[in-house]
Structure 1
Amino acid sequence: MSRVLDTDHLVISVSDFQRSKEFYGRLFEFLGLEISNEYENAIGWKTAKTRFWIFAADAKGRKHKYRIGDVGFHHYAFFLRSRKDVDALQIFLEQNGVTIVDPAGEYYEDYYAVYFLDPDGLKLEGMWCGGEHD
């Protein structure tokens, strides 16, 4: 039996805390997440089960640009309620000038998603799966 009950939180370091706070604040407001805690150099938002945190990178970390394919973080997926929510997320991203790397579409059987980048180039995903219809 697994000793792990669930995923409690994810923390990412960001190069420009204020810029990322604004980006994630708009994104998470759209997705319906609420702030769980906020500190001078960190802020977390919560879903029903998981918290997503951003944390200001230190001076050395801010000099290193993130590159998809490096060892470490690949992407984070938000499980949405429906295909319509994935489509609505894509419209939100387009309206806010967010880089979409793979537009909303069926990437696997019954797996519908949109992939996009945060201000540091970290890959995020809004996805839905689990049936032929919403």
Structure 2
Amino acid sequence: MAKNTSRVVCIDHIAIRVSDYEKSKAFYSALFDFLGFEVLDEYPQMMGWTNGQTRYWIGQAEEPDHKFRIGQPGFHHYAFQLRSRKDVDELQAFLKEQGAEIFDPADEYYEDYYAVFFLDPDGLKLEGMKYGEAGGA
């Protein structure tokens, strides 16, 4: 067996820029409350949440009129691994209640890979997913 020589333990955090801080703050506050995250810290025009392992930050963009476009160089999507397929379905129901845009509905996208894809207020694609639970709910 090869020795693991990676010095990276995990991805500590992601930080994104948003065009409308208050709108994104409301979206992410509701999302992270649903996902079981807590507020890590908040500064003027910047806020972060954590579940103890993953940290996600938003901050006001300097050029809010420069819109993100899916398919362009840069961010593709960020995936939250959930505990079960049932959690994926519950996330989708929550997102619909919130009026969030579902990009691709909850489904099996690859063998034993169940996910829902959705957009944040700036059109950044996010995903709630579960793999390794074939046939389970």
Identify whether the pair has TM-score above 0.5, normalized to the shorter chain. yes
Structure 2 residue 59 is matched with structure 1 residue 55: yes
Q: What is the TM-score when the length of structure 2 is the normalising length?
A: 0.94
Identity among equivalent pairs (%): 60
1:1-134 matches, within 5 Å, as 1-58=5-62, 61-132=63-134, 133=136
For 1:62, what is the secondary structure of its paired residue?
A: coil
What is the distance in 1 between the residues matched to 2:118 and 2:40?
24
**Structure showing greater Rg:** 2
What stretches of structure 1 of length at least 5 have no aligned partner?
none
User: What code does the residue aligned with 1:10 have?
Assistant: I
- Deviations for 1:68-107, whole angstroms, at most 9, x for unmatched residues? 0111100000000000000000000111111001000000
Matched residue pairs, number? 132
For 2:68, what is the secondary structure of its paired residue?
A: coil
| Misfit runs of 4+, over 2 Å | none
For 2:53, what is the secondary structure of its paired residue?
A: coil
Deviation at 1:131, TM superposition (A): 2.6
What stretches of structure 2 of length at least 5 have no aligned partner?
none
Instruction: Please tell me whether the aligned partners of residues 84 and 133 of structure 2 are also in contact (alpha carbons under 8 angstroms).
Output: no
